[in-house]
Amino acid sequence: MLTEGSAKHSQQTLTIRLGLLSLSHFLLRQRIQRVQPTYLIFGGHVEVHKYRYLYFMVLFTVYILILCSNSTIVYLIWKHRDLHEPMYIFIAALLLNSVLYSTNIYPKLLIDFLSEQQIISYQACLVQFYMFYALGGSEFLLLAAMSYDRYVSICKPLQYPTIMTKRTISVFLALSWLVPACEVGGTATLTANQKLCGFTLKVIFCNNSIYKLHCVPSRAIYIYGLFILLNVAYVPMIFILFTYAKIFVIAYRSSKEVRTKAAETCLPHLLVLINFSLLCTYDVILMRLESDIPKIAQLVMTLQLILYHPLFNPIIYGLKMKEISKHLKRLLHLDKKN
């Protein structure tokens, strides 16, 4: 009996020790996972090992063009006093936003083309995701501020100096960057707390495709995402369209001079709005149809999000805005002369 009891006691002790060992191993593994970063793979590249240098040279050239074209217009607005008006200040802010938007994506993309593996840490992916949507939201709010500026200028010209003061401009600029930054920050925080069951993104940079890696779809993220979409995209877009409709109605009833002013200053803003809205629609379509379209078509659609818009803005404002175009021609003429 004593021998049997001792055997049972030894067996229980061994079971407890094995349980404690398993628990320690599990806790150690969890601690290592917290310390070591989780890496995600970009799976949206097409034959990157074969065409890496071609991809690199094309996108590097585009990135330099984006930096130079946007910076040139910003420099002209900063340098010339006759461009120190609310409309041009908002244009400079919009172009600066395009530079930040591109810089969030292009450097990492260029590094990936020259790397053996196209990977990114989960934390860095969340930062890129955050910047991508925060700066995208700022674009809509800056365009809304510009539409209000045009409305006051054309429909209430006598009150324009008292309404569009330096304080008003500063408030509009601050809200255009802070509101999306705070709201998208909430989404990024919720996303960071989700458990991942997948580690391959079917894109070439971090966007809302990151949601497809979650083990369980979050209803809170979905509802909050809709709130942000309404708040920083749809509401500003409706406000812009309503404002420009009112401007064109008033301009149509006014003199030819007013109609010309409305067309010259409002048309570039509308073209930029339409272009950016279409690209944002692309982003939503890519999220919904990610698994239903060929990889090459998906890559082409993704590249449109980062190629066209940052180059489109300086071309439109440089060519269509009369005062900016005048100073740009003078700058190019001086460069040729020298």
pLDDT digits (tens, 9 = 90+) for 11-40: 655 555 555 555 555 554 554 345 445 889
The alpha carbons of the chain give a radius of gyration, in whole angstroms, of 27
Indicate the Cα dihedral angle 101, 104, 109, 114, nearest 10°.
Answer: 130
- Residue in 101, 40, 41, 48 with CA at minimum distance from that of residue 296: 48
Segments of the chain scoring below 50 in pLDDT: 1-2, 28, 31-33, 35-36, 335-338
Supply the pLDDT for residue 299: 77
Question: Do 147 and 239 form a contact (C-beta atoms < 8 A)?
Answer: yes
Supply the pLDDT for residue 296: 78
What tens digit of pLDDT does each residue of 85-119 get? 998 999 999 999 999 999 999 999 999 999 888 88
Question: Do 110 and 56 form a contact (C-beta atoms < 8 A)?
Answer: yes
3-state secondary structure of 8: helix
Side-chain-side CA neighbours of residue 256 (13 Å): 0
- Residue in 273, 304, 274 with CA at minimum distance from that of residue 286: 304
pTM confidence score: 0.82
Taking the C-alpha atoms of residue 132 and residue 125, their distance in angstroms, rounded to an integer, is: 10
Supply the pLDDT for residue 244: 87
Question: Do 89 and 134 form a contact (C-beta atoms < 8 A)?
Answer: no
